[in-house]
């Protein structure tokens, strides 16, 4: 255990950008304004072939601080590939992830870095706020699950997915290297794939405080794609191929993913989409009582279900940018 008065280790900040010109400057400012910005060795931003408007913003940002390096890509690499490129340009013993449209709270590194005094910890994550694009006043605390005490961390993550948002994490480089890092071939839910692999080589820790502001945009994955369950299935079966004990748990995981996506669709006022996902959830795992409850409520009592959510439901809709 590191003594409390021993200097904290340094960190490289890994950022990604694709046409996020309106947001990337604020994201970088949230890094430079950290209360422990002295711990930051490098800030590497990998751009995936953005339009000229965003490139112009990045050219300006590049002059803000000597620690900033920008990789100007030609496009098509994808988010996990961008992260791998950026990480390859760094040598700090810890890696902190930040997407180009998210914002750190000023005390994020101050709160998370001391946790690594325990050498068994290879990744720290935190709770976060979620808010609608252009309406940070709508921010609400997401509420993540603490899975860090589980004796079987892989199983616990597989079934209960806290969720862990990449922009909340700091990762010990040795653990990152040991699990192989982000898989550039996994374009959707690359974070889930990564966490399932890193859970095999290290322990996690949670800072139970919201240290990130996560922006909900109309272009977000969960906001727009219709094929998310296929990607969930791919990642789940990939994990089961690596860890066969997970194979019998795949229906439970997919049922819960469908239930949560169905509830999300309901809050987005997409009742038909919600019913399709919730029906899939109960067919995949008929003993999922929460999925049955949601399905019955949405199918037969949608107005009552929304009314019962009350202010909590309205707050969630506001954070997603949905007019109630």
DSSP of 32-55: HT-TTGGGEEEEEEEE-S--HHHH
Torsion region of 75: left, alpha or beta (phi above 0 gives left; psi -120 to 50 gives alpha): left
Q: List the structure tokens of 17.
A: 């950008």
pLDDT reading at 13 higher than 50: yes
Q: What is the pLDDT of residue 4?
A: 52
pLDDT reading at 214 higher than 80: yes
Q: Give the pLDDT confidence of 248-281 residue by residue, as tens digits.
A: 999 999 999 999 999 989 988 899 999 999 999 9
Long-range contacts of 31-38 (CB under 8 A, 24+ apart): 31/98, 31/104, 32/64, 32/65, 33/106, 34/104, 34/106, 34/107, 34/108, 34/109, 34/110, 35/106, 35/107, 35/109, 35/110, 36/8, 36/109, 36/110, 36/113, 37/109
- CA 35 to chain centroid, in Å, comes to 23
Q: What is the pLDDT of residue 1?
A: 38
* pLDDT range class, residue 2, cuts 50, 70, 90: very low
Q: 253, 281 in Cβ contact below 8 A? A: no
pLDDT reading at 299 higher than 80: yes
Q: What is the pLDDT of residue 304?
A: 82
How many angstroms separate the CA atoms of 15 and 98, rounded? 5
At residue 13's C-alpha, the angle toward residues 320 and 225, to 5°, is 30
Mean pLDDT (whole number) for 2-9: 66
How many angstroms separate the CA atoms of 152 and 65, rounded? 42
Q: Cβ contacts of residue 314 below 8 Å, gap of 6+?
A: 324
Q: Mapping DSSP to helix (H, G, I), strand (E, B) and coil, where does residue 136 land?
A: strand
pLDDT reading at 221 higher than 60: no
Q: List the structure tokens of 112.
A: 């998370």
Q: Give the pLDDT confidence of 170-211 residue by residue, as tens digits.
A: 999 999 999 999 999 999 999 999 999 999 999 999 999 999
Q: Give the pLDDT confidence of 85-136 residue by residue, as tens digits.
A: 999 999 999 999 999 999 999 999 999 999 999 999 999 999 999 998 888 8
Q: What is the pLDDT of residue 322?
A: 54
CA dist list (Å): 182 to 7, 103, 186, 198: 29, 22, 8, 10
For 11-217, CATH gives 3.90.550.10
Mean pLDDT (whole number) for 46-58: 97
Which of residues 267 and 31 earns the better pLDDT score? 31
* pLDDT range class, residue 302, cuts 50, 70, 90: confident
Which of residues 2 and 32 earns the better pLDDT score? 32
* pLDDT range class, residue 5, cuts 50, 70, 90: low
Mean pLDDT (whole number) for 130-157: 92
Q: What is the pLDDT of residue 132?
A: 86
Q: What is the pLDDT of residue 52?
A: 97
How many angstroms separate the CA atoms of 180 and 246, rounded? 20
Domain boundaries, the chain: 11-217, 227-319
How many angstroms separate the CA atoms of 268 and 298, rounded? 13
How many angstroms separate the CA atoms of 163 and 145, rounded? 7
Q: Give the pLDDT confidence of 311-321 residue by residue, as tens digits.
A: 555 555 444 55
Provide the Cα torsion 90, 91, 96, 102; round to 10°: -10
Mean pLDDT (whole number) for 276-290: 97
pLDDT reading at 144 higher than 60: yes
How many angstroms separate the CA atoms of 127 and 197, rounded? 21
Q: What is the pLDDT of residue 320?
A: 54
Out of 3-7, 134-138, 304-308, 319-323, least confident range: 319-323
Q: What is the pLDDT of residue 45?
A: 98
How many angstroms separate the CA atoms of 173 and 150, rounded? 23
């Amino acid at each position: 255990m590191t003594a409390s008065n021993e200097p904290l280790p340094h960190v490289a900040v890994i950022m990604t950008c694709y046409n996020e010109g309106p947001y990337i400057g604020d994201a970088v400012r949230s890094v430079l304004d950290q209360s422990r910005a002295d711990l930051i060795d490098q800030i590497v931003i990998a751009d995936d072939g953005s339009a000229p408007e965003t490139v112009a913003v990045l050219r300006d940002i590049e002059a803000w601080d000597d620690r900033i390096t920008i990789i100007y890509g030609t496009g098509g690499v994808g988010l996990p590939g961008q992260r791998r490129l950026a990480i390859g340009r760094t040598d700090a013993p810890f890696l902190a992830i930040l997407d180009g449209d998210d914002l750190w709270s000023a005390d994020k590194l101050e709160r998370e870095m001391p946790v690594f005094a325990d050498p068994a910890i290879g990744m720290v994550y935190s709770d976060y706020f979620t808010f609608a694009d252009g309406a940070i006043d709508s921010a609400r605390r997401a509420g993540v699950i603490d899975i860090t005490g589980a004796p079987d961390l892989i199983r616990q993550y597989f079934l209960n997915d806290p969720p862990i948002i990449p922009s909340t994490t700091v990762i010990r480089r040795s653990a990152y290297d040991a699990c192989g890092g982000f898989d550039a071939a996994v374009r959707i839910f690359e974070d889930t794939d990564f966490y399932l692999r890193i859970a095999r080589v290290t322990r996690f820790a949670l800072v139970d405080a919201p240290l990130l502001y996560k922006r909900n945009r109309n272009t977000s994955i969960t906001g727009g794609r219709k094929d998310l369950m296929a990607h969930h299935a791919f990642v789940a079966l990939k994990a089961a191929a690596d860890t066969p004990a997970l194979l019998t748990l795949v229906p439970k995981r997919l049922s819960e993913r469908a239930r949560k996506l169905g509830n999300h669709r309901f809050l987005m006022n997409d009742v038909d989409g919600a019913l399709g996902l919730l029906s899939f959830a109960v067919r995949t795992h008929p003993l999922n009582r929460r999925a049955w409850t949601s399905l019955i409520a949405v199918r037969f009592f949608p107005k009552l279900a929304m009314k019962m959510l009350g202010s909590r439901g309205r707050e969630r809709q506001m954070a997603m940018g949905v007019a109630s």
